[in-house]
């Protein structure tokens, strides 16, 4: 009994210490917010630009990319440099076009004026897959609304995120703004600290671990969590097969498939199946034999859980781990074929690695059904894609599939989180709506970080007659 009581006291002491540490950070954040509460849009935008430049600056983007790969062992430096710069640049573009402070809009016909106001202190839980890009991305959005942000990094990416945070703070001060607009949890980050953060901030924004998302949703704090990815993409008979294969390859291999938007499965119509696979082979794919696929599966999951040794690793290393032929070491990704959709821990599950599952569909109706079954395993609400020249197929897919995004003829990793050739907001956090247990059915964006006050004045009366509203119903069933 005594040992049980001692253990309970130890837990309570850790929770109390975590609460106090986080409270200090929250108090500093609130003080920083008070210092900027009278900022106009230009001043807020300058602080946001400072955050962006701290990561976009070429030497910083490269340094943090290298640190991320060294810290986490995931991804590759070249891709992370692109992620640090492209996402930051695109997000800054979006934010500079938005009004968030003071009067942000007016509808004279409706007699409404809109005023943007901060949501408060934001707790930003960030994943190991993007230990610099995601913290900066969330910090930019939070500060755009006049908020302060406290970052909870992944333990494995802590060194990178801490350095990124230090650079953000230095740049903010250089521009004349309070450094405590951006803070980070102290090391070592643990569940107690993260939980204390979730409970004390005004808004929790969680990307990454679905366990963290669930904890945020039950913390008592207003929370935005995003769902798991597991993107299936359909290739129909009208698609440009080489163009589709090139885009899929570029997207799949980017940062060694760390992105939640990376293609995980392809559903290919039977009439073009072999030609599509040949195009994928030309684009760098290795088509595994049945025995090779069994070997891949035995390594990919251990006791039903994704093997961390394969997550976001280079193709040459994976070829060795999977015990594939020497020729496979020179390929960029690996294709396994599955006759029917398996469950969790099978090839239909999210793989976070350079493994792409192929399914053969008799027709477009079956292709949609296969995609739905894949999403039911994981990723419901997140995204699907289609390569086609038949826009009606794309519209049918969008109508029939419970996802927030349907991308047409695009490299999913580069388009799903915002692109310069589509209208989705730039972000590293994609909501999946209630299908994924999320409150957000959009890409995370500045609107998530402001409250809006509506000033309402009277307008000419807008009251229809009873006949206008009930007339058709009365004609059908009577009064």
According to DSSP, the residues that pair with 348 across neighbouring strands are none
260 carries an active-site annotation? yes
Task: Report the SS3 class of residue 456.
Answer: strand
Rounded distance, CA 115 to CA 103, Å?
4
Q: Does residue 432 contact residue 272 with C-beta atoms inside 8 Å?
A: no
Provide the edge-to-edge strand list for the sheet that holds 102-107.
Answer: 102-107, 112-118, 450-456
Rounded distance, CA 395 to CA 107, Å?
32
Pick the catalytic residue: 126, 260, 288, 448?
Answer: 260
Rounded distance, CA 429 to CA 422, Å?
17
Tokens of 170: 């230095």
The closest of 313, 112, 138, 279 to 208, measured between CA atoms, is 138
Provide the 8-state DSSP code for 185. Answer: P
Task: Tell me the DSSP string of 207-267.
Answer: -S-HHHHHHHHTSSSEEEE-PPP-EEEEE-TTS-HHHHHHHHHHHHHGGGG-STTSEEEEE
What residues act catalytically? Answer: 260
């Amino acid at each position: 009994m005594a040992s049980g009581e001692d253990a309970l006291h130890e837990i309570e002491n850790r929770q109390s210490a975590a609460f106090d540490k986080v409270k200090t950070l929250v108090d500093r954040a609130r003080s920083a917010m008070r210092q900027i509460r009278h900022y106009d849009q230009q001043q807020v935008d300058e602080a946001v630009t400072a955050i962006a430049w701290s990561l976009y600056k070429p030497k910083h983007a490269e340094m943090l990319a290298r640190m991320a790969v060294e810290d986490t062992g995931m991804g590759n430096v070249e891709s992370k440099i692109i992620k640090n710069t492209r996402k930051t640049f695109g997000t800054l573009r979006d934010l500079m076009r938005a009004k968030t402070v003071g009067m942000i809009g007016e509808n004279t016909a409706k007699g409404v004026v809109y005023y943007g106001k901060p949501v408060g202190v934001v707790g930003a839980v960030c994943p190991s897959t993007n230990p610099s890009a995601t913290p900066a991305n969330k910090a930019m959005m939070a500060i755009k609304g006049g908020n302060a942000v406290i970052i909870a990094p992944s333990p494995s990416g802590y060194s990178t995120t801490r350095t990124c945070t230090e650079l953000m703070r230095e740049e903010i001060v250089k521009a004349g703004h309070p450094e405590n607009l951006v803070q980070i949890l102290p090391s070592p980050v643990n569940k107690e600290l993260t939980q204390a953060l979730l409970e004390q901030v005004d808004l929790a924004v969680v990307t990454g671990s679905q366990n963290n998302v669930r904890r945020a949703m039950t913390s008592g704090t207003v929370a935005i969590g995003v769902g798991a990815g597991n993107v299936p993409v359909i290739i129909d008979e009208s698609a440009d097969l080489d163009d589709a294969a090139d885009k899929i390859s570029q997207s799949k291999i980017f940062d060694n498939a760390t992105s939640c938007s990376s293609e995980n499965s392809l559903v290919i119509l039977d009439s073009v199946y072999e030609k599509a696979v040949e195009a994928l082979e030309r684009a760098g794919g290795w088509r595994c034999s049945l025995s090779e696929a069994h070997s891949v599966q035995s390594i990919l999951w251990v006791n039903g859980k994704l093997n961390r040794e394969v997550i976001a690793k280079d193709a040459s290393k994976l070829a060795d781990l999977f015990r594939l032929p020497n020729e496979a070491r020179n390929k960029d990704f690996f294709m396994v074929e599955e006759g029917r959709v398996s469950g969790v821990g099978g090839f239909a599950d999210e793989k976070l690695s350079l493994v792409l599952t192929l399914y053969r569909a008799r027709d477009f109706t079956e292709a949609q059904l296969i995609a739905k079954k894949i999403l039911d395993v994981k990723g419901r609400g997140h995204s699907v894609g289609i390569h086609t020249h038949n826009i009606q197929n794309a519209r049918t897919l969008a109508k029939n599939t419970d996802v927030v995004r349907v991308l047409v003829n695009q490299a999913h990793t580069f388009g799903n989180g915002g692109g310069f050739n589509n209208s989705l907001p730039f972000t590293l956090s994609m909501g999946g709506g209630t299908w994924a247990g999320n409150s957000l059915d959009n890409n995370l964006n500045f609107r998530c970080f402001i409250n809006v006050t509506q000033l309402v004045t009277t307008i000419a009366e807008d009251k229809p007659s009873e006949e206008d509203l009930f007339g058709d119903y009365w004609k059908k069933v009577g009064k």
